[in-house]
A = this chain, B = another copy of it.
Amino acid sequence: MKARVFVTLKPGVLDPQGKAIHHALEGLGFDGVNEVRAGKLIELDLADGTGDDAIESMCRKLLANTVIENFRIERLP
Protein backbone atom coordinates (compact mmCIF):
# COMPACT_ATOMS: atom_id res chain seq x y z
CA MET A 1 0.00 0.00 0.00
CA LYS A 2 1.28 3.42 -0.85
CA ALA A 3 0.63 6.70 0.87
CA ARG A 4 1.81 10.24 0.29
CA VAL A 5 2.36 12.80 3.00
CA PHE A 6 2.39 16.50 2.09
CA VAL A 7 4.09 18.74 4.62
CA THR A 8 3.63 22.49 4.26
CA LEU A 9 4.56 25.45 6.41
CA LYS A 10 1.66 27.00 8.28
CA PRO A 11 0.43 30.35 6.99
CA GLY A 12 2.43 33.17 8.52
CA VAL A 13 5.58 31.12 9.02
CA LEU A 14 8.48 32.68 7.13
CA ASP A 15 9.66 30.60 4.17
CA PRO A 16 13.15 31.64 3.03
CA GLN A 17 13.38 28.69 0.62
CA GLY A 18 10.16 29.77 -1.09
CA LYS A 19 11.41 33.36 -1.22
CA ALA A 20 14.65 32.21 -2.85
CA ILE A 21 12.72 30.22 -5.48
CA HIS A 22 10.46 33.23 -6.11
CA HIS A 23 13.49 35.48 -6.57
CA ALA A 24 15.15 33.00 -8.92
CA LEU A 25 12.00 32.68 -11.03
CA GLU A 26 11.86 36.46 -11.40
CA GLY A 27 15.53 36.48 -12.34
CA LEU A 28 14.77 33.98 -15.10
CA GLY A 29 12.13 36.34 -16.48
CA PHE A 30 8.97 34.64 -15.20
CA ASP A 31 6.53 37.44 -14.45
CA GLY A 32 3.26 37.04 -12.67
CA VAL A 33 4.49 34.93 -9.78
CA ASN A 34 2.88 36.32 -6.63
CA GLU A 35 4.16 33.91 -4.03
CA VAL A 36 6.06 30.66 -3.71
CA ARG A 37 5.89 28.32 -0.71
CA ALA A 38 8.17 25.31 -0.43
CA GLY A 39 7.10 22.10 1.24
CA LYS A 40 7.93 18.42 1.42
CA LEU A 41 6.44 15.36 -0.17
CA ILE A 42 7.13 11.99 1.45
CA GLU A 43 6.09 8.81 -0.36
CA LEU A 44 5.64 5.79 1.88
CA ASP A 45 5.41 2.18 0.78
CA LEU A 46 3.64 0.48 3.67
CA ALA A 47 2.53 -3.02 4.58
CA ASP A 48 -1.08 -3.68 3.60
CA GLY A 49 -3.44 -2.96 6.44
CA THR A 50 -1.46 -0.06 7.89
CA GLY A 51 -4.11 2.17 9.41
CA ASP A 52 -4.63 5.88 9.06
CA ASP A 53 -3.84 6.20 12.76
CA ALA A 54 -0.36 4.76 12.21
CA ILE A 55 0.38 7.14 9.34
CA GLU A 56 -0.87 10.13 11.32
CA SER A 57 1.30 9.04 14.24
CA MET A 58 4.35 8.91 11.92
CA CYS A 59 3.58 12.47 10.84
CA ARG A 60 3.18 13.79 14.37
CA LYS A 61 6.26 12.04 15.72
CA LEU A 62 8.69 12.47 12.85
CA LEU A 63 7.61 13.67 9.44
CA ALA A 64 6.15 17.05 10.35
CA ASN A 65 6.94 19.64 12.98
CA THR A 66 3.38 20.45 13.97
CA VAL A 67 4.39 23.69 15.66
CA ILE A 68 5.13 25.27 12.30
CA GLU A 69 3.92 22.75 9.72
CA ASN A 70 0.66 21.25 8.53
CA PHE A 71 0.47 17.82 7.01
CA ARG A 72 -1.98 16.05 4.74
CA ILE A 73 -2.13 12.31 4.12
CA GLU A 74 -3.23 10.79 0.82
CA ARG A 75 -3.65 7.03 0.55
CA LEU A 76 -3.18 5.48 -2.85
CA PRO A 77 -5.04 2.35 -3.88
Contacts and interface: CB of A to CB of B under 8 A. Distances in A.
Contacts of A40: 38-41
A43 B54 CA distance: 27
Contacts of A54: 30, 32
Interface string A35-57: 11111111111110110001001
A68 interface: no
Given A25-B62, A62-B21, A42 B36 contact: yes
A24 B8 CA distance: 20
A6 to B, nearest CB: 6
Most B C-beta atoms less than 10 A away, residue of A8, A25, A37, A41:
A41
